[in-house]
Structure 1
Amino acid sequence: MKIGLDIMGGDFAPKATVLGAIEAYKVLSANQKLVLIGDKEQALSILHENNFSPDNFDFVHTTEVIGMGEHPTKAVVQKPNSSISLGFKLLKEGGIDAFSSAGNSGAMLVGAMFSVKAIPGVLRPAITSVMPKLEEGLGILVDVGANADCKPEYLFQFGVFGSLFAQYVYNISNPRVALVNIGEEEEKGNLLCQAAYPLMKESTQFNFVGNAEGRDMFSDLADVFVCDGFTGNVMLKFAESFYVISRKKKIKDDFFDKFNYEQYGGSPILGVNAPVVVGHGISNAEAIKNMVVLCRDMVESGLTEKIKLAFQ
């Protein structure tokens, strides 16, 4: 197994990404190799400073970077030698089995769509994120930003993605799937939710348990929470603030600690033909390590093949 890591992506790259690669190496097995994509000279300098052998990694050298503020589509097309573009080229050609970056998230989504492309039958790929539960365990929120505007059929497919992801990557048996709405009654919600509900209710592809309200997000009502990307992104950013506020207020609480993004590493793009994970722009070494680990888990679980089978 080869996992590609964009070492130029993120606010603290390449130092944080290379240090994260070192930490990831320590938890990967002998047959799992990291491919560092970016400025090799800078990477070698950081590895030397930390007395870590570069022989533990493969390298694909480039100094070109897609910046956080660049237009995703234009940047991917105009910068074919950027670390993100080269990562997707390798992924498409089979040089790596998964690709991860804490760089421009829009470019990651565009790159995935242009290179490995959506799985046949998938209307729109989606991005997922983890929501901790108050008691124990975690929930999956999908979509969290790839699709601000959705059709009912998209939400149905997001339910399929989320259920398979929860089952095969997080080992949740028969995951319960809920539709994020403004009330628990079947007829509640905007036109999108009202149309999506019967599609999800009649599905035999996942275990639909009805509507979930905002107050249910951290409960054990469901394992997968489905919504459009606009709603999901607002909810995700709101949830992330819990950890920041608890730190600022000097509140030590085990539940609020679960909102620390570092623990989860990144957000997978589901519905494309290979494992792709997008990390937080402010990712530190711990977050980079966990992003790589998530890539490994996605490859080992055969998640992409499971999704392909679901859409045959």
Structure 2
Amino acid sequence: MSITLVLIGVLLSSTAVEFTGAQSVGVCYGGFGNNLPTRQAVIDLYKSNGIGKIRLYNPDDAALQALKNSNIEVILGVPNDVLKSLTNAQAAADWVNKNVKPYYPSVKIKYIAVGNEIHADSPEASSVLPALQNIQNAISSSNLGQIKVSTAIDTILIGKSYPPNDGAFSDGSVGYIRPIVNFLVSNGSPLLANVYPYFSYVNNQQSIGLDYALFTKQGKNEVGYQNLFDAILDSIYAALEKVGGSNVKIVVSESGWPSEGGTGASAGNAATYYGNLIRHAKGGTPKRPNGPIETYLFAMFDENQKPGPEIERHFGLFRPDKSPKYQLSFN
């Protein structure tokens, strides 16, 4: 992918980003808003902008119907609140029969994300592995073997992240994550990881420069890294190696930067981050140089009803009226 950032001096009002191809980059589609377009209009927006990958956080029928024959690759989410039910094998088979089989292969479901950002001390933690196994068995028995089953983690599970080569899961997380990694190894599935340099920067500004977080740093640091995204990603790869997952690939299932609502949150910074990430994703990291890095930008729209701090409602690439927040132009 090539990116051209135009009108740098007026980033706050308009940023033009040019994309050639979208092989490695997709966009997450969240729905915590009461002002968002119809599902069909959203999928049409993906198509008209040449966005070839989408992450859905739940099996939304209207979105899946709109995705039929679109050739858009899909991460289909299993919401956290149904994980416990899927520890029952029949319930997992029913879930696949209802939410996968009617759409596949006219909907290009590539991954099923069984849970999102579950921590070792989360109430759902004990359900993740059996739910993964049961969904996998249902996929296999339904001859849907091209679909890979995984779960999406966040970096809270990482106890040590710097230097990246010393990355390791925290002591409290190892017992939770190791059997999940064994599952991924056995099934040739990737690990889905939500990677946010924004939060690492905000929480450690004394050690992390904004340029390092935005891919604009000149030259490498003392451990050979030029940007925070690669450092975080490689710390997860190092952690995987330490629990038997040396051959597990990471798919970056979320990454984004807010345009307002908090420290470092501005339209200019967000535009710089998204544009540089799209360009960067065509390559690799120091630890895994053979790219591209399959990456899903968060998110398609600002979500005005999303809970949490103000920044959570300002990650959109597009406004609810479908106009680009940054003047996006796709080849």
The two structures have a TM-score, normalised by structure 2, of 0.30
